[in-house]
Structure 1
Amino acid sequence: MSPKPARQGRRWWTAARWATPIAIGLALYLLPRPAAVEPGGWAVLAVFVATVLGLIAQPMPLAAVALTGLTFTMITGVLEPAVALSGFAEPTIWLIVAAFFISIAVTKTGLGRRVALWFVAMLGRRSLGLGYGLALTDLILAPATPSNTARSGGVIYPIIASLSEQAGSRPNGETRRRLGAYLTATAMGVNVITSAMFATAMAANPLVQEFAGAQGVEISWLTWTVAAIVPGIVALVVIPALLYKVYPPELRDTPEAPRAARAQLAELGPMTRPEWIMAGVFVTLLTLWSLGSQVWGLSATASAFVGVATLLITRVLTWNDLAGDKSAWTTLTWFAVLVMMAGQLQKLGVIGWFSTTITGVAGGLSWQAAFVLLTLVYFASHYAFASNTAHVAAMYGAFLAAALATGAPPMMAALVLGFISSLYGGLTHYSSGPAPVLFGSGYVALAEWWRNGVIVAAVNIVVWMGVGAFWFKILGYW
């Protein structure tokens, strides 16, 4: 193809990515406003839908799209500036920003890599043991690493690449199935589980908390963790072994892996002062997030900033580290905009109208059957999304409202839909941030990725809605 047609093709594609969200938002705005929706609510919905579609199509970076939508609500008079900017005052938004800052220290100090090497040294004599080593590493890092993409790309994948190279398993070739493909598939399968286990393990989880709170369901960090711990551990035990069976590595024994890990640990030497401080902050944060509100009256956000301040005072982090973290500031921007718009949709009756519509479709079913149906539809609809957060922003609030309208127990419904909001992240090679990172390594073919995604998703649904249901019963959530 000559340069000129290629440039024209790119221009058409860019134009389409602009035109589609705008056209759909405008078409929605021109539809008659339902009587149940208050004046102004339909306009907010149109801007919200256009913004979410813009986040998916990305004609500009995420934060730029969100700011454009925010600006449009103000200049058209849809929302007053004070209301439009209110999302930036939400404590939940700042919790996730603080957690991003803490995750910088996990990587900067080398503590994350050291933890991964410890588990490889202990469990790595067989490829299945390596899979469980990756799972334990991800599990330990997850509570303080809200970017599951950073967890996979910054800590887990470099370990996979090193182990695979040592085993003679290289991407995009005949040796990829020797070890690298299994470890890559396992890393993705594990990541969606650990992302679901902690409110601070995936960027969209605080958004879930915010939307649930708007409907009267308050989910604390401790509540989320306790509810997820049993089905999460069961899933972490099952998934590496399942993939070892259905997507096995050609190399079963890996005696060199522990020796290589011990050699790298020897090169690292004893834990450094920054690592010890980071480990202490990590333990302190888990304690504060679990007990802080009951014992000391500290919110999860205040506790997170205790950790950030400690890392700054001890010079483990510098202000330049924080200022240079584009992911944190980008997340702050588009999270604040989405939270504000979602809150207005709730306030102006749009969510209530949508939930009534969905409930009508499930009419005549028991709440149990209706909830299972809603959950499966919510899960499967992720094939149309390239972001967990965009999916949560677009559909979580409405599906939760519909579930509550059918009579589903509030806490159980909010938590299950919240867990699902992480678990569908491995369905496709584009379905979440870690997916393109791991798929792009070249170890897993496209058809294999989609097949594995369906298998892992089916098992996760069984575990989280089966084992989870018994656990939620014990906790008194239904």
Structure 2
Amino acid sequence: MTSSRPDPTSDTNVVRAHEHPHFHFTPIWYKAAIPIVVGVIVYFLPVPDGVEPDGMHMLGIFVATILGLILQPLPTGSVALVGIAIAMITKTMAMDDALAGFANKTVWLIVASFFIAEGFIVTGLGRRIALVFVRAIGKSSLGLSYGMAVTDLILAPATPSNTARAGGVVYPIIRSLAELEDSRADSDESRKKLGAYLLLTALQVNVITSAMFITAMAGNPLAQDAAAKQGIDISWGKWALAAIVPGLVSLIVVPWVMQKLYPPTVRKTPEAPDLARAQLREAGKMSVHEWIMAGTFVLLLVLWCLSDQLNVDATATAFLGIAILLVTGVLTWSNLVSDKGAWQTLVFFGVLVAMADELKQLGVIDWIGDKVASSVDGLPWIAAFAILTLVYFYVHYLFASNTAQIVAMYAVFLGAAVATGAPPMFAALVFGFIGSLFGGLAHYSSGPAAVMYGSGYIKTSEWFRVGFIMSIVIIAIWTVVGGAWMKVIGVW
């Protein structure tokens, strides 16, 4: 099984010199013109009170970069580098601040997850695990997606890094399952067989499991702490109780909806269990490298689960795993160097994290939050709360991580909601849940999203389309089912 990955940021619409020797106003220029025009307009808007002089300049560059990522006049990594270059050359960002995203530990955790996944592939252990899954529940693509959902759910309460959970555990299994069905990222026909569906579904499942427990996502404890500072104490059990019913309903509904929204061409695999049994027999006993990979994986899982108790950072744990795999020869340096998905993810995600942090430092995020809060003055609390939650959800298009938005805006929106008359505990829990649920909006919206995107199976345009539609489904479930359930248990 090959471990090479195609360029996940390639775009067949990019104009090549030998195809167009003379300048033509082709659609590619429309794609470039829209981000430039919108960015320039925002760049030169008057600076509002409370925002630093360079705040609107930074917002303009950030908006242009995001539009570039959506429209893709250039591949993703190229768009990100152009954006950060403009931010530096205009002195909107100091060079140290512009490059700070490349030192972000979450970004490197994502990169490390790719390398760990590579270990599963090159040793064949990932394929072996995949065969076990296929043997047990492999009669349909839907069954496989439910298998991944159960895996994520079991790990979630004890894994505060949702990136580690998605990238180090779920992702390599899905890669192996996809390749078992000859679903690879090198063509539309191949990737849509199974891999793209399973990866997109796994991301939507991950945002749900991350919302179900305080300890399932690193940003959740930050929301808990911010709520406590406003006199709202949320215990681990109260959070889990409030989230359990809408969470379980979502885990049942989401894989099914995803199969309707983004159907794999491989739907039924009735022969797969027998084939898996035969291939497991042919594979024979596990090799030494497979045992080392398995032992390293268990060690990583234990350290990730006990990271708070042992005071061991998730990124440090991931690098320990990589070191073990390199020293034992399971991975070689060439394996790491050739992993294009990992390095391209480092570029675009590092740039976006740095830009989002700069927006916070320049006061732009606080200004947006204050404007939103003041805009709902005088409305009935239910109407005001609905507006605030929707804005809080979809403003995440401006963020490259869940935790960044929670730190920047959770307290502002919670205070505004309580001021309008919303029940404090209800408001605190809902904004806490949203802090995870919006992680599937785009390919840069969270660490797990970046991991899945880096595989190359899903096009950028598909991320935005599917992410937005699934956000409506998830909001509906957590509003109707979650709201009713929290009423039953007395949260509001």
Q: Same fold per TM (> 0.5)? A: yes
1:33 to 47, 56, 67: 47
Structure 1 length as normaliser, TM-score?
0.69
Aligned CA distance change for structure 1 residues 117 and 453 (closer, same or farther; 3 Å): farther
Distance 2:169 2:70 in 1: 18
Q: Does 1:283 align with 2:295?
A: no
1:306 to 305, 308, 320: 320
Look up the match of 1:155.
Answer: 176
Distance 2:198 2:430 in 1: 28
Comparing 53-62 and 122-131, the one that deviates more: 122-131
Aligned CA distance change for structure 1 residues 435 and 396 (closer, same or farther; 3 Å): farther
User: Is the 2:93–2:358 Cα contact (8 Å) retained in structure 1?
Assistant: no
| Structure 1 residues 257-314: Cα deviation after superposition (integer angstroms, max 9, x where no partner) | 32122112222222222222222222222222222232x3211221121111111112
2:133 to 119, 126, 135: 119
Give 3-state SS (helix, strand or coil) of 1:146's partner: helix
1:349 to 340, 357, 363: 363
1:46 to 60, 69, 85: 60
Q: Which runs of 5+ in 2 are unaligned?
A: 1-15, 156-162, 229-235, 419-426, 444-449
Offset at residue 406 of structure 1 (A): 2.0
2:285 to 261, 265, 270: 270
Offset at residue 416 of structure 1 (A): 1.7
Give the residue type in structure 1 aligned to 2:125.
L
Distance 2:353 2:262 in 1: 40
Distance 1:394 1:368 in 2: 27
Look up the match of 1:420.
Answer: 438
Give 3-state SS (helix, strand or coil) of 2:306's partner: helix
User: Is the 1:138–1:194 Cα contact (8 Å) retained in structure 2?
Assistant: yes
2:413 to 399, 403, 411: 403
Alignment of 1:173-184 (within 5 A): none
User: Is the 1:117–1:262 Cα contact (8 Å) retained in structure 2?
Assistant: yes
User: Is the 1:192–1:424 Cα contact (8 Å) retained in structure 2?
Assistant: no
Distance 1:136 1:337 in 2: 33
| Structure 1 residues 140-173: Cα deviation after superposition (integer angstroms, max 9, x where no partner) | 89845439996697334334568xxxxxxxx99x
Give the residue type in structure 1 aligned to 2:273.
P
Distance 1:53 1:248 in 2: 27
Give the residue type in structure 1 aligned to 2:413.
A
Comparing 119-128 and 246-255, the one that deviates more: 246-255
Alignment of 1:46-195 (within 5 A): 46-124=60-138, 129=143, 132-133=146-147, 135-136=149-150, 143-146=164-167, 154-159=175-180, 188-194=200-206
Distance 1:359 1:466 in 2: 24
Offset at residue 34 of structure 1 (A): 1.0
User: Is the 1:423–1:460 Cα contact (8 Å) retained in structure 2?
Assistant: no
Q: Which runs of 5+ in 1 are unaligned?
A: 163-170, 173-179, 200-204, 426-430, 441-445
Distance 2:483 2:43 in 1: 40
Q: Does 1:337 align with 2:355?
A: no
| Structure 1 residues 65-95: Cα deviation after superposition (integer angstroms, max 9, x where no partner) | 2222222222222232222222222222222
Aligned CA distance change for structure 1 residues 379 and 281 (closer, same or farther; 3 Å): same
User: Is the 2:51–2:363 Cα contact (8 Å) retained in structure 1?
Assistant: yes
Aligned CA distance change for structure 1 residues 433 and 75 (closer, same or farther; 3 Å): closer
User: Is the 1:152–1:191 Cα contact (8 Å) retained in structure 2?
Assistant: no
Offset at residue 354 of structure 1 (A): 1.0
User: Is the 2:307–2:314 Cα contact (8 Å) retained in structure 1?
Assistant: yes
Number of positions where the alignment pairs a residue of Structure 1 with one of Structure 2 = 429
Look up the match of 2:231.
Answer: none
Q: Does 1:261 align with 2:273?
A: no
Distance 2:244 2:329 in 1: 34
Offset at residue 9 of structure 1 (A): 9.5
Aligned CA distance change for structure 1 residues 183 and 457 (closer, same or farther; 3 Å): farther
Offset at residue 351 of structure 1 (A): 0.7
Offset at residue 339 of structure 1 (A): 1.6
Aligned CA distance change for structure 1 residues 94 and 124 (closer, same or farther; 3 Å): closer
Offset at residue 424 of structure 1 (A): 7.6
| Structure 1 residues 110-131: Cα deviation after superposition (integer angstroms, max 9, x where no partner) | 2333222212212345786455
User: Is the 1:217–1:410 Cα contact (8 Å) retained in structure 2?
Assistant: yes
Aligned CA distance change for structure 1 residues 437 and 276 (closer, same or farther; 3 Å): same
Distance 2:153 2:376 in 1: 37
TM-align CA RMSD: 5.1
Distance 1:11 1:80 in 2: 35
Aligned CA distance change for structure 1 residues 379 and 346 (closer, same or farther; 3 Å): closer
Give 3-state SS (helix, strand or coil) of 2:51's partner: coil
Distance 1:44 1:113 in 2: 45
Comparing 263-272 and 252-261, the one that deviates more: 252-261
Identity %, equivalent residues: 41
